[in-house]
Amino acid sequence: MIIPCPWCGDRDHSEFRYGGDATKDRPKHGTGDLKEWHDYYFLFDNPKGPHTEYWQHVLGCRRWFRLSRNIATNEIGGLA
């Protein structure tokens, strides 16, 4: 799988680290609602289809970015 790094261009996925679902909204600091934190931290949509996710070019420029990828096919939709 080839991943387009916004800085380095197309590189093999083994240079990257997967950072998970990028569509979740982190609750504000100081929010005491445990249910909200639980849902943010532990639950995933895990859709069989398009997915927006974080990747880090950990063995390259180390930049974090958002990528859209179809989980059902691994087709890369580009930066999101």
Site residues (vs other proteins, CB under 8 A): 1, 12-14, 17-20, 34-35, 38-39, 41-48, 51, 53, 71-74
The nearest distance, CB 30 to other proteins, in angstroms, is: 20
Give 30 or 46: the residue with its C-beta nearer to other proteins: 46
Hey, how many other C-beta atoms are within 10 angstroms of the C-beta on 52? 14
The nearest distance, CB 59 to other proteins, in angstroms, is: 11
Sign of CA dihedral 30, 31, 33, 39: negative
In the 8-state DSSP scheme, what is residue 60?
A: T
